[in-house]
Amino acid sequence: MTSHIMPTYGRLPVTFERGEGMWLFDENNKRYLDALSGIAVCNLGHAHPAVHEAICTQSGKLLHTSNLYTIANQELLADKLTEKAGMDNVFFCNSGAEANEAAIKLARKYGHSKGIENPAIIVMEKSFHGRTLATLSATGNSKVQQGFAPLVEGFVRVPYNDISAIELALESNKNIVAVLVEPIQGEGGVNIPASDYLNKLRGLCDQHEILMMLDEIQCGIGRTGKFLAFQHNAILPDVCTLAKALGNGVPIGACLARGKAAELLTAGAHGSTFGGNPLACSAALAVLATLDKENLIEAAQTKGDAIHAGFTASLNNNKHIVNIRNKGLMIGIEFDKPCTELVKLALEKQLLINVTNETTIRLLPPLIIDNEQIQLLINTLTAIINDYTGQTA
Ligand SMILES: *Cc1c(COP(=O)(O)O)cnc(C)c1O
Protein backbone atom coordinates (compact mmCIF):
# COMPACT_ATOMS: atom_id res chain seq x y z
CA MET A 1 0.00 0.00 0.00
CA THR A 2 1.54 3.33 -0.99
CA SER A 3 0.95 6.31 1.25
CA HIS A 4 -0.26 9.56 -0.27
CA ILE A 5 1.46 11.58 2.43
CA MET A 6 4.63 13.42 1.37
CA PRO A 7 7.53 11.46 2.80
CA THR A 8 8.86 14.28 5.01
CA TYR A 9 8.94 12.17 8.17
CA GLY A 10 10.67 8.93 9.11
CA ARG A 11 7.79 7.44 11.06
CA LEU A 12 7.79 4.64 13.60
CA PRO A 13 5.48 1.70 12.86
CA VAL A 14 2.71 2.46 15.34
CA THR A 15 -0.65 4.25 15.20
CA PHE A 16 -2.25 5.58 18.34
CA GLU A 17 -5.97 5.70 18.74
CA ARG A 18 -6.48 7.35 22.09
CA GLY A 19 -4.63 8.67 25.10
CA GLU A 20 -5.20 9.06 28.80
CA GLY A 21 -2.80 11.07 30.93
CA MET A 22 0.72 9.77 30.24
CA TRP A 23 -0.56 6.69 28.36
CA LEU A 24 -1.18 6.22 24.66
CA PHE A 25 -3.14 3.25 23.29
CA ASP A 26 -2.60 1.75 19.83
CA GLU A 27 -5.14 0.13 17.54
CA ASN A 28 -4.88 -3.14 19.48
CA ASN A 29 -5.39 -1.36 22.78
CA LYS A 30 -1.74 -1.95 23.70
CA ARG A 31 -0.58 0.86 25.99
CA TYR A 32 2.63 2.89 25.77
CA LEU A 33 4.24 5.15 28.36
CA ASP A 34 4.66 8.51 26.61
CA ALA A 35 7.87 10.18 27.84
CA LEU A 36 7.93 12.64 24.93
CA SER A 37 4.48 14.29 25.09
CA GLY A 38 4.26 14.84 21.33
CA ILE A 39 7.61 16.69 21.56
CA ALA A 40 6.82 18.90 24.56
CA VAL A 41 3.28 19.64 23.41
CA CYS A 42 0.98 17.62 25.67
CA ASN A 43 2.37 18.93 28.96
CA LEU A 44 -0.94 18.15 30.69
CA GLY A 45 -0.97 14.64 29.24
CA HIS A 46 -3.44 13.27 26.72
CA ALA A 47 -7.17 13.93 26.79
CA HIS A 48 -6.97 16.26 29.78
CA PRO A 49 -10.57 16.87 30.87
CA ALA A 50 -10.10 20.65 31.28
CA VAL A 51 -8.84 21.09 27.72
CA HIS A 52 -11.46 18.67 26.41
CA GLU A 53 -14.24 20.58 28.07
CA ALA A 54 -12.94 23.99 27.02
CA ILE A 55 -12.75 23.15 23.31
CA CYS A 56 -16.07 21.27 23.34
CA THR A 57 -17.83 24.23 24.90
CA GLN A 58 -16.11 26.75 22.63
CA SER A 59 -16.79 24.79 19.43
CA GLY A 60 -20.50 24.81 20.28
CA LYS A 61 -20.37 28.61 20.51
CA LEU A 62 -17.88 29.96 17.95
CA LEU A 63 -14.77 28.65 16.17
CA HIS A 64 -13.60 31.58 14.12
CA THR A 65 -14.44 35.16 13.29
CA SER A 66 -11.11 36.51 11.86
CA ASN A 67 -8.96 39.23 13.33
CA LEU A 68 -11.17 41.89 11.72
CA TYR A 69 -13.04 41.83 15.05
CA THR A 70 -12.20 41.81 18.72
CA ILE A 71 -11.90 38.25 20.05
CA ALA A 72 -12.80 37.94 23.73
CA ASN A 73 -10.77 34.76 24.37
CA GLN A 74 -7.73 36.31 22.68
CA GLU A 75 -7.92 39.40 24.91
CA LEU A 76 -8.29 37.20 27.99
CA LEU A 77 -5.38 34.95 26.98
CA ALA A 78 -3.16 37.96 26.24
CA ASP A 79 -3.97 39.35 29.71
CA LYS A 80 -3.04 36.08 31.41
CA LEU A 81 0.09 35.45 29.32
CA THR A 82 1.55 38.92 29.69
CA GLU A 83 0.88 38.85 33.42
CA LYS A 84 2.58 35.48 33.85
CA ALA A 85 5.51 36.40 31.59
CA GLY A 86 6.03 40.01 32.72
CA MET A 87 5.64 41.15 29.12
CA ASP A 88 3.45 43.90 27.59
CA ASN A 89 1.63 42.44 24.61
CA VAL A 90 1.23 39.42 22.32
CA PHE A 91 0.87 38.56 18.65
CA PHE A 92 -0.93 35.22 18.20
CA CYS A 93 -0.21 32.73 15.43
CA ASN A 94 -0.48 28.98 14.90
CA SER A 95 2.97 27.43 15.36
CA GLY A 96 6.46 27.91 16.70
CA ALA A 97 7.97 28.80 13.36
CA GLU A 98 5.34 31.50 12.90
CA ALA A 99 6.02 32.89 16.36
CA ASN A 100 9.72 33.16 15.48
CA GLU A 101 8.86 34.72 12.09
CA ALA A 102 7.01 37.43 14.02
CA ALA A 103 10.05 37.92 16.26
CA ILE A 104 12.41 38.15 13.27
CA LYS A 105 10.16 40.66 11.49
CA LEU A 106 9.90 42.67 14.72
CA ALA A 107 13.70 42.74 15.04
CA ARG A 108 14.08 43.98 11.48
CA LYS A 109 11.53 46.73 12.12
CA TYR A 110 13.48 47.69 15.20
CA GLY A 111 16.63 47.94 13.09
CA HIS A 112 14.98 50.09 10.46
CA SER A 113 13.55 52.33 13.19
CA LYS A 114 17.16 52.96 14.24
CA GLY A 115 18.23 53.70 10.66
CA ILE A 116 19.94 50.34 10.10
CA GLU A 117 19.17 49.26 6.55
CA ASN A 118 20.57 45.72 6.74
CA PRO A 119 19.68 44.57 10.23
CA ALA A 120 21.27 41.33 11.46
CA ILE A 121 20.28 38.96 14.25
CA ILE A 122 22.74 36.90 16.29
CA VAL A 123 21.74 33.21 16.37
CA MET A 124 23.39 30.13 17.87
CA GLU A 125 25.11 27.00 16.69
CA LYS A 126 22.95 23.90 17.31
CA SER A 127 19.82 26.04 17.61
CA PHE A 128 16.43 25.12 16.22
CA HIS A 129 13.85 27.76 15.33
CA GLY A 130 11.57 26.12 12.74
CA ARG A 131 11.19 25.08 9.11
CA THR A 132 10.02 28.21 7.30
CA LEU A 133 12.66 29.94 5.19
CA ALA A 134 13.57 32.60 7.74
CA THR A 135 13.48 30.24 10.72
CA LEU A 136 15.48 27.49 9.00
CA SER A 137 18.02 30.15 8.07
CA ALA A 138 18.20 31.08 11.76
CA THR A 139 18.52 27.42 12.74
CA GLY A 140 22.04 26.18 13.52
CA ASN A 141 21.80 22.78 11.83
CA SER A 142 22.99 22.32 8.25
CA LYS A 143 20.68 19.30 7.75
CA VAL A 144 17.66 21.57 8.18
CA GLN A 145 19.07 23.98 5.57
CA GLN A 146 20.30 21.40 3.05
CA GLY A 147 18.76 21.94 -0.39
CA PHE A 148 16.95 25.18 0.43
CA ALA A 149 19.48 27.81 -0.61
CA PRO A 150 19.37 30.72 -1.04
CA LEU A 151 18.83 31.16 2.67
CA VAL A 152 17.36 34.29 4.22
CA GLU A 153 20.12 36.79 4.97
CA GLY A 154 20.69 38.74 8.14
CA PHE A 155 21.80 36.09 10.62
CA VAL A 156 25.17 36.00 12.37
CA ARG A 157 26.02 32.69 14.01
CA VAL A 158 28.00 32.21 17.23
CA PRO A 159 28.57 29.23 19.56
CA TYR A 160 25.94 28.64 22.24
CA ASN A 161 26.75 29.46 25.86
CA ASP A 162 29.64 31.73 24.83
CA ILE A 163 29.23 35.35 25.94
CA SER A 164 32.57 36.53 24.57
CA ALA A 165 31.61 35.27 21.09
CA ILE A 166 28.57 37.54 21.26
CA GLU A 167 30.69 40.47 22.48
CA LEU A 168 33.05 39.92 19.58
CA ALA A 169 30.22 39.78 17.04
CA LEU A 170 28.75 43.00 18.45
CA GLU A 171 32.09 44.80 18.21
CA SER A 172 32.70 43.79 14.61
CA ASN A 173 29.17 44.25 13.22
CA LYS A 174 27.24 47.47 13.70
CA ASN A 175 24.16 46.04 11.93
CA ILE A 176 23.24 43.73 14.78
CA VAL A 177 19.82 44.59 16.19
CA ALA A 178 18.89 41.48 18.19
CA VAL A 179 19.93 38.12 19.53
CA LEU A 180 17.63 35.09 19.21
CA VAL A 181 18.38 32.24 21.60
CA GLU A 182 16.77 29.24 23.29
CA PRO A 183 17.20 29.39 27.12
CA ILE A 184 17.76 25.62 26.83
CA GLN A 185 18.45 24.10 23.42
CA GLY A 186 15.97 21.30 22.74
CA GLU A 187 16.62 19.81 19.30
CA GLY A 188 20.33 20.63 19.65
CA GLY A 189 20.71 18.04 22.44
CA VAL A 190 19.11 19.40 25.63
CA ASN A 191 21.94 21.89 26.07
CA ILE A 192 21.75 23.82 29.34
CA PRO A 193 23.91 26.96 29.41
CA ALA A 194 25.79 28.37 32.39
CA SER A 195 23.33 29.50 35.06
CA ASP A 196 24.22 33.19 34.52
CA TYR A 197 24.31 33.05 30.70
CA LEU A 198 20.97 34.81 30.23
CA ASN A 199 21.86 37.44 32.85
CA LYS A 200 25.08 38.32 31.04
CA LEU A 201 23.27 38.29 27.72
CA ARG A 202 20.67 40.69 29.15
CA GLY A 203 23.49 43.01 30.20
CA LEU A 204 25.06 42.95 26.74
CA CYS A 205 21.72 43.59 25.04
CA ASP A 206 21.12 46.62 27.27
CA GLN A 207 24.62 47.95 26.72
CA HIS A 208 24.37 47.66 22.92
CA GLU A 209 20.67 48.50 22.71
CA ILE A 210 19.75 45.31 20.88
CA LEU A 211 16.70 43.13 21.48
CA MET A 212 16.97 40.03 23.61
CA MET A 213 14.66 37.51 21.96
CA LEU A 214 14.10 34.16 23.67
CA ASP A 215 12.69 31.12 21.90
CA GLU A 216 10.75 29.37 24.69
CA ILE A 217 8.78 27.22 22.28
CA GLN A 218 10.10 23.98 23.76
CA CYS A 219 11.27 24.96 27.25
CA GLY A 220 8.35 27.26 28.13
CA ILE A 221 4.90 26.64 29.70
CA GLY A 222 6.10 25.11 32.95
CA ARG A 223 8.41 22.41 31.61
CA THR A 224 11.59 23.54 33.39
CA GLY A 225 9.97 24.28 36.75
CA LYS A 226 9.13 27.92 36.03
CA PHE A 227 6.34 29.15 33.77
CA LEU A 228 9.07 30.36 31.40
CA ALA A 229 12.66 29.17 31.54
CA PHE A 230 14.09 32.73 31.70
CA GLN A 231 12.29 33.16 35.03
CA HIS A 232 15.05 31.05 36.62
CA ASN A 233 17.31 34.05 35.93
CA ALA A 234 15.11 36.89 37.21
CA ILE A 235 15.48 38.80 33.93
CA LEU A 236 13.01 39.90 31.28
CA PRO A 237 13.64 39.54 27.55
CA ASP A 238 12.35 42.07 25.01
CA VAL A 239 10.69 39.36 22.94
CA CYS A 240 9.67 35.79 23.81
CA THR A 241 8.14 33.15 21.56
CA LEU A 242 5.81 30.33 22.60
CA ALA A 243 3.94 27.51 20.90
CA LYS A 244 4.14 23.73 21.54
CA ALA A 245 2.58 23.23 25.01
CA LEU A 246 0.54 26.44 24.95
CA GLY A 247 -2.53 24.63 23.57
CA ASN A 248 -1.69 21.10 24.80
CA GLY A 249 -2.17 19.87 21.21
CA VAL A 250 -4.44 22.56 19.78
CA PRO A 251 -2.19 24.57 17.41
CA ILE A 252 -1.35 28.01 18.79
CA GLY A 253 1.78 30.16 18.81
CA ALA A 254 2.56 33.48 20.45
CA CYS A 255 5.15 36.21 20.16
CA LEU A 256 5.30 38.30 23.33
CA ALA A 257 6.98 41.68 23.45
CA ARG A 258 7.87 44.29 26.05
CA GLY A 259 8.75 47.98 26.14
CA LYS A 260 9.90 49.46 22.84
CA ALA A 261 9.66 46.04 21.19
CA ALA A 262 5.93 45.99 21.93
CA GLU A 263 5.31 49.07 19.77
CA LEU A 264 6.93 47.96 16.51
CA LEU A 265 4.37 45.74 14.80
CA THR A 266 1.59 48.22 14.08
CA ALA A 267 -1.67 47.87 12.10
CA GLY A 268 -1.00 46.26 8.72
CA ALA A 269 2.58 45.26 9.57
CA HIS A 270 1.82 41.61 10.34
CA GLY A 271 -1.14 39.26 10.51
CA SER A 272 -2.59 35.77 10.50
CA THR A 273 -6.00 34.45 9.45
CA PHE A 274 -6.25 31.79 12.14
CA GLY A 275 -3.94 33.37 14.72
CA GLY A 276 -5.55 33.61 18.15
CA ASN A 277 -8.93 32.28 17.08
CA PRO A 278 -11.57 31.61 19.75
CA LEU A 279 -11.03 27.83 19.74
CA ALA A 280 -7.23 27.84 20.05
CA CYS A 281 -7.38 30.52 22.75
CA SER A 282 -9.96 28.53 24.74
CA ALA A 283 -7.54 25.59 24.84
CA ALA A 284 -4.64 27.81 25.95
CA LEU A 285 -6.76 29.42 28.66
CA ALA A 286 -7.60 25.95 29.98
CA VAL A 287 -3.91 25.01 29.92
CA LEU A 288 -2.87 28.07 31.96
CA ALA A 289 -5.68 27.57 34.48
CA THR A 290 -4.80 23.87 34.90
CA LEU A 291 -1.08 24.50 35.41
CA ASP A 292 -2.00 26.70 38.37
CA LYS A 293 -4.87 24.63 39.70
CA GLU A 294 -2.85 21.38 39.76
CA ASN A 295 0.41 23.07 40.89
CA LEU A 296 2.19 21.45 37.95
CA ILE A 297 4.97 23.97 37.46
CA GLU A 298 6.62 23.56 40.86
CA ALA A 299 6.09 19.82 40.52
CA ALA A 300 8.00 19.81 37.22
CA GLN A 301 11.12 20.82 39.14
CA THR A 302 10.89 18.12 41.82
CA LYS A 303 9.77 15.42 39.40
CA GLY A 304 12.55 16.29 36.96
CA ASP A 305 15.14 16.20 39.74
CA ALA A 306 13.78 12.84 40.93
CA ILE A 307 14.11 11.42 37.40
CA HIS A 308 17.64 12.82 37.14
CA ALA A 309 18.61 11.28 40.48
CA GLY A 310 17.00 7.98 39.51
CA PHE A 311 18.90 7.67 36.24
CA THR A 312 22.14 8.90 37.81
CA ALA A 313 21.91 6.00 40.26
CA SER A 314 20.60 3.36 37.86
CA LEU A 315 23.09 4.12 35.06
CA ASN A 316 26.00 4.68 37.43
CA ASN A 317 27.90 1.65 36.12
CA ASN A 318 27.27 2.20 32.42
CA LYS A 319 30.50 3.62 31.00
CA HIS A 320 28.82 4.67 27.73
CA ILE A 321 26.83 7.39 29.49
CA VAL A 322 28.71 10.68 29.21
CA ASN A 323 26.29 12.94 31.04
CA ILE A 324 22.77 13.08 32.48
CA ARG A 325 21.27 16.54 32.74
CA ASN A 326 17.94 18.22 33.32
CA LYS A 327 16.16 21.44 34.00
CA GLY A 328 12.84 20.35 35.43
CA LEU A 329 11.25 17.89 33.03
CA MET A 330 13.57 18.66 30.13
CA ILE A 331 15.96 15.76 30.42
CA GLY A 332 18.98 14.62 28.39
CA ILE A 333 20.96 11.40 28.70
CA GLU A 334 24.08 11.71 26.56
CA PHE A 335 25.97 8.73 25.14
CA ASP A 336 29.55 8.42 23.95
CA LYS A 337 28.28 7.28 20.53
CA PRO A 338 25.22 7.61 18.27
CA CYS A 339 22.21 5.92 19.89
CA THR A 340 19.23 6.68 17.64
CA GLU A 341 18.39 2.93 17.53
CA LEU A 342 17.20 3.24 21.13
CA VAL A 343 13.99 4.90 19.96
CA LYS A 344 12.88 1.72 18.18
CA LEU A 345 14.08 -0.55 20.98
CA ALA A 346 12.10 1.52 23.49
CA LEU A 347 8.99 1.40 21.29
CA GLU A 348 9.20 -2.40 21.34
CA LYS A 349 9.07 -2.14 25.13
CA GLN A 350 6.08 0.23 24.89
CA LEU A 351 8.02 3.32 25.90
CA LEU A 352 8.11 6.51 23.81
CA ILE A 353 11.38 8.47 23.89
CA ASN A 354 13.41 10.54 21.46
CA VAL A 355 17.08 10.82 20.53
CA THR A 356 18.33 14.20 19.42
CA ASN A 357 21.67 15.39 18.08
CA GLU A 358 22.39 11.65 17.44
CA THR A 359 23.85 10.95 20.88
CA THR A 360 21.38 12.30 23.43
CA ILE A 361 18.21 10.63 24.65
CA ARG A 362 15.67 13.39 25.12
CA LEU A 363 12.89 12.90 27.64
CA LEU A 364 10.02 15.40 27.77
CA PRO A 365 7.46 13.62 29.94
CA PRO A 366 4.15 15.33 30.69
CA LEU A 367 4.05 17.48 33.82
CA ILE A 368 1.32 15.20 35.22
CA ILE A 369 3.70 12.20 35.43
CA ASP A 370 3.21 10.46 38.82
CA ASN A 371 5.68 8.65 41.10
CA GLU A 372 4.76 5.22 39.82
CA GLN A 373 5.26 6.33 36.22
CA ILE A 374 8.60 7.94 37.17
CA GLN A 375 9.77 4.58 38.55
CA LEU A 376 8.45 2.71 35.52
CA LEU A 377 10.24 5.15 33.19
CA ILE A 378 13.55 4.78 35.05
CA ASN A 379 13.36 0.98 35.31
CA THR A 380 12.23 0.37 31.73
CA LEU A 381 14.67 2.77 30.09
CA THR A 382 17.62 1.67 32.23
CA ALA A 383 17.05 -1.95 31.18
CA ILE A 384 16.80 -0.92 27.51
CA ILE A 385 19.97 1.18 27.71
CA ASN A 386 22.00 -1.47 29.54
CA ASP A 387 20.81 -4.13 27.12
CA TYR A 388 21.77 -1.89 24.19
CA THR A 389 25.23 -1.06 25.48
CA GLY A 390 25.81 -4.74 26.26
CA GLN A 391 26.02 -4.44 30.01
CA THR A 392 24.02 -6.01 32.77
CA ALA A 393 21.80 -3.86 34.94
C1 LIG B 1 9.55 23.03 17.83
C2 LIG B 1 10.34 24.26 17.91
C3 LIG B 1 10.16 25.30 16.98
C4 LIG B 1 9.25 25.18 15.79
O5 LIG B 1 7.91 25.02 16.14
P6 LIG B 1 6.86 24.51 15.04
O7 LIG B 1 5.54 24.59 15.75
O8 LIG B 1 7.24 23.12 14.65
O9 LIG B 1 6.94 25.44 13.89
C10 LIG B 1 10.91 26.46 17.16
N11 LIG B 1 11.77 26.59 18.18
C12 LIG B 1 11.96 25.61 19.09
C13 LIG B 1 12.92 25.82 20.22
C14 LIG B 1 11.28 24.40 18.98
O15 LIG B 1 11.50 23.43 19.85
CA distance 146 to 176: 25
**191 alpha carbon to ligand 1 midpoint, in Å?**
15
**Mind telling me the catalytic residues?**
128, 215, 244
Q: Ligand 1 pocket test: which of 37, 104, 218, 223 has the largest number of ligand atoms within 8 Å of its C-beta?
A: 218
pLDDT of residue 391: 64
How many whole angstroms from 349 Cα to the centroid of ligand 1?
28
Q: Which atom of ligand 1 is the closest one to the Cα of 215?
A: 13
Residues in the chain with pLDDT < 50? 392-393
Q: Among 93, 126, 129, 224, say which to mutate for ligand 1: greatest number of ligand atoms within 8 Å of CB.
A: 129
pLDDT value for 2 = 86
Residue 186's contacts (CB-CB under 8 Å, 6 or more residues apart) are 40, 128, 218, 219, 330, 356, 362
**pLDDT value of position 393:** 45
pLDDT at 349 (0 to 100): 98
The ligand 1 site (C-beta within 6 Å) comprises 95-97, 100, 128-130, 182, 186-187, 215, 217-218, 243-244
Domains and CATH numbers, the chain: 16-34+295-389 (3.90.1150.10), 50-293 (3.40.640.10)
- Nearest Cα neighbor of 334 from 313, 353, 358, 305 is 358
| Cα-Cα end-to-end distance for the chain | 41
Query: Is it true that the peptide bond before 150 is cis, omega within 30 degrees of 0?
Result: yes
